[in-house]
Amino acid sequence: MKRAMRWLAGAGLLMTALASGAAEPDLLIADFEGTSYGDWQVTGEAFGPGPARGALPNQMAVTGHRGQGLVNSFYGGDQATGTLTSPEFTLRRKYLTFLIGGGNHPGETCIDLLVDGKVVRTASGPNSQPGGSERLELQHWDVSEFAGRAARLRIVDTATGGWGHINIDEIMQTDRKPPVLLTNPEREITVRSRYLHLPVKNGAPKRRMSLRVGGEAVREFEIEIADRDPDFWVFLDLQPFQGKSARLRVDQLPDDSTALQMAVQSDALPDADGLYGEARRPQFHFTSRRGWLNDPNGLVYHRGEWHLFYQHNPYGWEWGNMHWGHAVSKDLVHWQELPIALYPYRYGDMAFSGSAVVDRDNTSGFRTGSEEVLVAAYTSTGRGECIVYSNDRGRTWTEYAGNPVVAHQGRDPRLLWHAPTRQWVMAVYHEEGDRRSIDFHTSPDLKKWRFGSRIDGFFECPELFELPVDGEKSNRKWILYGADGKYLVGQFDGKAFHPDGEKQQLWWGNFYASQTYSNAPNGRRVQIGWGQGITFPGMPFNQQMTFPVELRLERTDAGVRMLAEPVRELASLRGKRRRWKDVELAEGENPLRELSGDLWEIRADWETGGAKRLGFRLRGVPVVYDVAKAELTVKGVVAPLKPVDGRVRLQILVDRGSIEVFANDGRVAVSAAALPAEGATGLEAFTEGGPSRLRSLEAVELACAWKRGGSGGED
């Protein structure tokens, strides 16, 4: 029996070998993984003392090489020249293959095959224009006519201008026909369904893909398209092209790629049933169905809906192809994803961050019906600050014909209405040399803008708003911050910001580029940030938003400070609640030991007593207060936290990708990336170095905020 199996296995191997025609194993000529070029001969300086390991100083990222080392003649920059010549070898296979990148200067940045000292084959890199890519791609020569002959390879760099270098790696001899890169392969489709699903492989070469209708690219973007075995699927919304015949084109694909064949039309998402229930999908933090997200954009409340637009790559897991994704909520907790709101203006341009307002008095003249018009400002990377408007509650947006309305070196326009001076204000990030500032422009109609003033010391994503101090309507202050959220308190007169003091910090950890809602009801100031760096390996989406918080200002001994607490609508997720009162906690005790689960809100009012350290381990993630240092540490994120009357009060939100802590009624806010270890569902409250006293402790089970299955209830 055993012998029969071995024989069968052997026969199987033989048959595969015959079927692929790969009778002889491949022969490696050079992989450049060593520290020197060995017995290759070097002339000149361009090839350096040995193989490079990726990019050299001042070079763009080099990708596509195999292993660490490669030949990279950028040593000493583009001006350096030289040659690298192999020892003699015998041509024993049908094909010679290699990876090649760098300059397209035939004869000057090239690899040559020499037989009898004569160049019989030559190849050059792909780049001749500024820009381009340092990616190496596979190429091959059919050398069967030289079978058995002695040969040498010579890598040449005699070019000294732009792209005056050549990159080579992994030179092999093989009998298997290598794939050839096709240029602009296409597939015709008749648009019949809502979505076109595209296969993605993380780390695959970025290809330029387009959907073409009537010869025109109606969608065009970069995608790490999978030639086979996708990691996940993304989708292109075909709604505007129903019934049309279209071509799907990729700029380059290996001839054995199945990418175009795999693309499939369907009215549903491929894994609609499991949507929002994926193992690592945050259950009450906003994530996008597919792809990457960063900054929240255009936060505006309008007719019962909280709009959440956001920086979005719909076609990949990493940053890129910036669009404005869109979701709406009636309660800031349950979100419904809508079609993409802003596409890049054209290929190569991106729709960067911005904001939205309700133009109640139609100062812009953009209103077409009886409904209030929404106006948004965003950065079109190739043009400047642009205006778009919507007369259908944010569903579709129209470009203002006079765009851009502000052209400068900057981005991320923040619009607001300044009532006392009856004008619009745009706070926008501006850079000039090393100067990083926020500029204020003013406008009567959102179209014509006039520069007002500039304040230095801020980076990206400005935010500006007014809040009452201690809830007193007559005592109001303005807040100004950039992407890191470090804020100034002061006055804004419609043209310039006058700070009262130094910058202050409310948020710590994975929190960036936050925005607050314009037009929120009842004077509420609701803030959402990008949970920058909260990442979801193996999932079809990446990055999350922080849970919406309500901001307020309070007078403290140190001055006026901003505080943040989760919006009260969180209540709609609360389920089973356990409560403890006046627990004397000794070392080794754990009042939460009976509990286990996924999603939690934990509240504690804790007298530090004799403890040195106290806190929680929530699904294995530490939330620790160090009494002597007066520091709160949440999975590596450290925030200063002073006790108040010997107590710290903590409100903690535990989701699948993060832990957020609001301490001392919102004086300190922490967002920490924290993927709980798989299977870790237990909770622990502990004290160390002495006893402490929990005046109260609550553990509340939270529910999932998503409607499972379907398309998330879209339109």
Q: What is the DSSP letter of 504?
A: B
Per CB under 6 A, 309 contacts ligand FRU: no
CB half-sphere exposure, 523, CA atoms < 13 A: 10
**Which of 78, 359, 385, 412 is close enough to bind ligand FRU by CB under 6 A?**
412
Q: 376 forms bridges with which residues in the sheet?
A: 356, 388
Angstrom distance (rounded) from CA 271 to CA 276: 10
CB of 531 to ligand FRU, least distance (A): 12
Closer to ligand FRU by CB, 82 or 354: give it.
354
Per CB under 6 A, 311 contacts ligand FRU: yes
Closer to ligand FRU by CB, 113 or 483: give it.
483
CB of 512 to ligand FRU, least distance (A): 6
DSSP 296-363: EEEEEEETTEEEEEEEEETT-SSS-S-EEEEEEESSSSSEEEEEEEE--SSTT--EEEEEEEEETT-T
Angstrom distance (rounded) from CA 277 to CA 572: 19
Angstrom distance (rounded) from CA 54 to CA 61: 8
Cβ neighbours of 502 (radius 10 Å) = 9
| Binding string, residues 359-378; x marks residues near ligand FRU by CB under 6 A | --------------------
Number of residues that bind ligand FRU (CB under 6 A): 14
Closer to ligand FRU by CB, 513 or 560: give it.
513
Closer to ligand FRU by CB, 113 or 293: give it.
293
Per CB under 6 A, 323 contacts ligand FRU: no
CB of 319 to ligand FRU, least distance (A): 6
CB of 467 to ligand FRU, least distance (A): 24
Torsion, Cα of 328, 298, 574, 679 (10° steps): 100
Closer to ligand FRU by CB, 297 or 423: give it.
297
Task: Report residue 466 as tokens.
Answer: 């007014």
Helix H, strand E, coil C: the string for 562-577 is EEEEECHHHHHHEEEE
Closer to ligand FRU by CB, 59 or 671: give it.
671
Angstrom distance (rounded) from CA 558 to CA 233: 52
CA distances from 599 to 81, 678, 701, 709 (A): 61, 14, 6, 19
Per CB under 6 A, 483 contacts ligand FRU: yes
Cβ(467)–Cβ(476) below 8 Å: yes
**Which of 411, 414, 552, 561 is close enough to bind ligand FRU by CB under 6 A?**
411
Task: Report residue 56 as tokens.
Answer: 């050299």
Closer to ligand FRU by CB, 429 or 625: give it.
429
Angstrom distance (rounded) from CA 439 to CA 593: 54
Angstrom distance (rounded) from CA 162 to CA 79: 9
CB of 323 to ligand FRU, least distance (A): 10
Residue whose entry in the numeric block shows the structure tokens 């450290």: 638
What residues contact residue 443 under an 8 Å CB cut-off, 6+ apart? 405, 423, 424, 425, 426, 449, 450
Per CB under 6 A, 535 contacts ligand FRU: no
**Which of 513, 560, 618, 699 is close enough to bind ligand FRU by CB under 6 A?**
513
Per CB under 6 A, 295 contacts ligand FRU: yes
Per CB under 6 A, 263 contacts ligand FRU: no
Closer to ligand FRU by CB, 64 or 485: give it.
485
* Helix locations, 21-136, DSSP H: none
**Which of 292, 343, 352, 706 is close enough to bind ligand FRU by CB under 6 A?**
352
Detail the DSSP E strand segments found in 39-108.
41-44, 52-53, 62-63, 69-72, 82-85, 89-90, 95-102
**Which of 248, 327, 461, 467 is close enough to bind ligand FRU by CB under 6 A?**
461
Per CB under 6 A, 353 contacts ligand FRU: yes
Detail the DSSP E strand segments found in 400-540.
410-418, 423-432, 435-443, 450-456, 463-469, 472-481, 487-492, 497-499, 507-509, 512-516, 526-531
Which residues, 218 to 247, sit near ligand FRU by CB under 6 A? none
- At residue 274, the 3 state secondary structure works out as helix
Per CB under 6 A, 351 contacts ligand FRU: no
Which residues, 42 to 61, sit near ligand FRU by CB under 6 A? none
Closer to ligand FRU by CB, 374 or 483: give it.
483
Cβ neighbours of 513 (radius 10 Å) = 23
Task: Report residue 6 as tokens.
Answer: 């071995």
Give the CA angle between residues 630, 632, 637 to the nearest 5°. Answer: 135
CB of 180 to ligand FRU, least distance (A): 36
CB of 388 to ligand FRU, least distance (A): 15
Per CB under 6 A, 460 contacts ligand FRU: yes
**Which of 73, 127, 355, 379 is close enough to bind ligand FRU by CB under 6 A?**
379
**Which of 322, 376, 416, 634 is close enough to bind ligand FRU by CB under 6 A?**
322
- At residue 182, the 3 state secondary structure works out as strand
Angstrom distance (rounded) from CA 273 to CA 265: 17
Angstrom distance (rounded) from CA 507 to CA 485: 7
Give the CA angle between residues 531, 533, 534 to the nearest 5°. Answer: 65
Closer to ligand FRU by CB, 512 or 625: give it.
512
CB of 312 to ligand FRU, least distance (A): 9
CB of 351 to ligand FRU, least distance (A): 9
CB half-sphere exposure, 20, CA atoms < 13 A: 14
**Which of 174, 288, 294, 711 is close enough to bind ligand FRU by CB under 6 A?**
294
- At residue 703, the 3 state secondary structure works out as coil
CB of 430 to ligand FRU, least distance (A): 12
Closer to ligand FRU by CB, 95 or 511: give it.
511
* Positions marked active-site: 295
Per CB under 6 A, 671 contacts ligand FRU: no
Closer to ligand FRU by CB, 350 or 623: give it.
350
Closer to ligand FRU by CB, 379 or 546: give it.
379
- At residue 372, the 3 state secondary structure works out as coil
* Binding interface with ligand FRU (CB under 6 A): 294-295, 311, 322, 352-353, 379, 411-412, 460-461, 483, 512-513
